[in-house]
Amino acid sequence: MQRLGELEASVMDVLWNSTEPLRVRQVLEAINQHRDLAYTTVMTVLDNLHRKEWVVREMRNRAYYYRAVATREEATAQSLRELLDASDDRESVLLHFARSVTEEESDILRRALRRKPGKR
């Protein structure tokens, strides 16, 4: 997955906070509570996100409905994975990261590592 620009991230936030797929107009209304964008701008951003495979769309009654391909958490984990894969020294990156986590985060990681593979 490619990284998101500021406007793309704003659009994704709207989709991630929704329990159902949204039309361009619905995304626009949510975003325009905090900024002033044109309909065509949001439509272009959603089209770009679709091309980048961040969202899927479904045609209903002559309008596209958009939803995120992955949850915010899944997308964040994928970004972390890509950063780690880009490193020449994964061990060093992981050790630096491990030193930066809070005690609570450390407990979460320990519990996750104790689980058997395939279980959630």
Q: What single-letter amino acid sits at 80?
A: L
pTM summary value: 0.79
The per-residue pLDDT for range 60-118, each reduced to its tens digit, is 999 999 999 999 999 999 988 988 999 999 999 999 999 999 999 999 999 988 987 76
From 7, 1, 5, select the one nearest 83 (Cα to Cα).
1
Tokens of 35: 């900024």
The per-residue pLDDT for range 15-64, each reduced to its tens digit, is 999 999 999 999 999 999 999 999 999 999 999 999 999 999 999 999 99
55: β partners: 68
Contact at 8 Å (CB) between 59 and 14? no
Tokens 């958490």 appear where? 73
Tokens of 95: 């050790």
